Amino acid sequence: MDGVFYNRFERHAHGEGLKGQSTHYCAGCGHGLVHKYLADAIDELGVQDRTIAISPVGCAVFMYYYLDVGNSQAAHGRAPAVALGHKMANPESIVICYQGDGDLASIGLAEIIQATQMGIPMSIIFVNNAIYGMTGGQMAPTTLMEQQTTTTPTGRDRLTGEPMRMAETIGQLSGPVYVERVALYDNKQRVRAQKAIKKALRVQVENRGLGFVEVLSECPTHLHMSPSDAEQWVKQEMVPIFPLGVKKDVDTEPWFNLDEPNFEPDDIVTVIGSSTESSAKGTEPFPSHIDAEDISLKFAGAGGDGAQTIAMLTTRTAINAGYDSTHIPSYGPESRGGTSYADVHIATTEVLSPASLKPHVLVAFNPQSLEKFGPTVRDGGVVLYDSTVIAEPPQMDPGIKTYGIPFTQIAVDLGKAMVKNTVALGATVAATKIFPVERFVNTMEDALKNKCALLPINREAFNRGIEAVEALDKTR
């Protein structure tokens, strides 16, 4: 006998005794019916091998005892997230996300809204029995007003809110293609439920989108009713609050398509931005006139000054020159229009502390930065600042070489205020003689290789910075 139900439910208490052929559900529970309709639909659509059923936390937690498909059991409320993971991993798989009302409409609200709004082809089966079955009859988000549960012993009231109408909520999202609410209380409703479940699967199998079926279901145990009274209760009490019918049904073309992941070495090398060719790298002498083994620089300004960019160019240049180098930015709220500091270290063999607490070189783009970090610069160090915005620099230690250069004015004269950082970089290179000019130019060309139009003006700005330092040096 080969169906979508296992021949024997070996996972149900090792399939011993009657458990090998009967479910763990209470007599008359709606879950069993929904499982049967699901099994039928999987069979008729011929997708048993490709199907992955996600069992929720709730009474349906053991759905995997029964359905002979790939099975995955999710944390409470997270079945849609697990489903998404499976579907992304294998777009060919047919993923069924099965959830109760506590699972879907309470703890897992965020996950179900995301999954349904994404609208990736999946099938969501939502069993609404107006109660928490598994934990023993507590209030669900779908519990009716005045309905007694163990956590609403005098009936649900205003304080605990009104029942959630999930089919309507999901139906008004743009993500899903098909949303319907059905019930199980008589032959007619059962036929509709079967059809709806099949359709929710079919829209996925045809790769057209996400189907969502809410099933009003009986929990005779916690309603404290016979199964047939429970059927009547669903019909008379639930249906007025949860009207049956199609909430959304749109015609779409098949669309979901993910190619097989690519593991081609050449493509990967390109994508990660690596290269095999050696771009004029080599060994420059270490700039030991600044420090014998570890040089630290600080670039400080406001967000938008471009301090990080030139710090990064300096790090790259040092690495291209054959040394270890690190760059660490200040970041977060500070980087939003506020301050923007960058610490750079260059070491003969290995940078140890990457912070520039006592820099050899400070480049300051505004008065606050100069004021804050000027005093931290080491004796014998170099300070460069933007004299366009810093008219009166604070008194510096006489052992420190100071260059006031109008970074901004020079850049504005070139027609692009943005390149003031490149002016500053040129000035820094000239004032410190850290590495040869060509090495910086190489790095810059490399960094701008996809923005060639920007290269001429940056080279010009870089040169102007060098010239400004040379002019100042002449006057000293």
Partner 1 sequence: MVTTKTDKKARPKPFLFPQFCKACGRCIEACPKDCIHVGTQIDPNSGLTPVVVELDKCNGCGLCIDACPEPYGLMPVEGEIEDMSLMDPAQIFGPRQTSAPKPEPIPGTLVPLPDLEPMVLKGTHAAAVGAILAGCRHVFGYPITPSTEGAELMAKLLPQLDGVFVQAVSEVATVNIMYGCGGAGLRCATFTSSPGFSLMLEGISYMIGAELPGVFFNIMRGGPGLGNIGPEQSDISLVCRGLGHGNTHAVVLAPSTPQEMLDLTIAAFDISFEYRNPVVIAADGYLGQMTGRVELPKTLTKPGIPQWAVYGDRAHRGNLITSIYIIEADLEIHNEKILAKYDRMIENEQRANCFRCDDAEWLVIACNTPARMAKGAVQELRDQGIKAGLFRPITLWPFPIKQLTPLLDRARGLIVVEAGPGQLEDEVRLALSHADIRNAPPFSHVRRYGGVLPQQQEIVDKVTALVEA
> Among 133, 301, 374, 465, which residue sits at the site for ligand SF4 (rule: CB under 6 A)?
133
Tokens 């620089």 sit at which residue? 297
| Residue 57 is a binding residue for ligand TPP (CB under 6 A) | yes
Interface with ligand TPP includes 406 (CB under 6 A)?
no
Within 10 angstroms of residue 184's Cβ, the number of other Cβ atoms is 26
Residue number, 77 or 406, with CB nearest to ligand TPP: 77
Among 33, 140, 411, 430, binds ligand TPP (CB under 6 A): 140
129 binds ligand SF4 (CB under 6 A): yes
What CA–CA distance (Å, rounded) separates 213 from 127? 8
CB–CB of 286/430 below 8 Å?
Answer: no
Closest alpha carbon to 150 in 172, 165, 132: 132
Verify binding: residue 286, ligand SF4, rule CB under 6 A: no
Nearest one of 462, 402, 429, 476 to 287, comparing CA atoms: 429
Q: Max alpha carbon distance in the chain (Å)?
A: 102
CB 104, min distance to partner 1, A: 14
Regarding 141 and contact with ligand TPP (CB under 6 A), the answer is no
The distance of closest approach from Cβ of residue 76 to ligand TPP in the complex, given in angstroms and rounded to an integer, is 4
Q: Is 50 in the site for partner 1 (CB under 8 A)?
A: yes
Hey, what amino acid is at 244?
A: L
Burial grade of 372 (CB within 10 A; 0-12, 13-18, 19 or more)? middle
Check residue 102 for interaction with ligand TPP (CB under 6 A).
yes
| Phi, psi dihedral angles at 283 (to 5 degrees) | -115, 120
Q: Which of 46, 154, 278, 391 binds partner 1 (CB under 8 A)?
A: 278
CA-based end-to-end distance of the chain: 99
Interaction pattern, residues 181-220, with ligand SF4; x per rule: CB under 6 A? --------------------------------------xx
Write out the binding residues for partner 1, residues 360-419 only, by CB under 8 A.
Answer: none
Q: Is 88 in the site for partner 1 (CB under 8 A)?
A: yes
26: contact with ligand SF4 by CB under 6 A: yes
Q: Does 32 bind ligand TPP (CB under 6 A)?
A: no
Single-letter code of the amino acid located at 13: A
DSSP secondary structure code for residue 123 in this structure:
E
CB of 26 or CB of 109, closer to ligand SF4 = 26
Per-residue binding letters, 308-347, with partner 1 (x by CB under 8 A): ----x--xx--x----xxxxxx-xxx--------------
Separation CA 74–CA 116 (nearest Å): 17
Residue 26's closest CA among 108, 96, 131? 131
Residues of the shown chain interacting with ligand TPP in the complex, contacts defined by CB under 6 A: 57-60, 76, 100-103, 127, 129, 131-135, 140
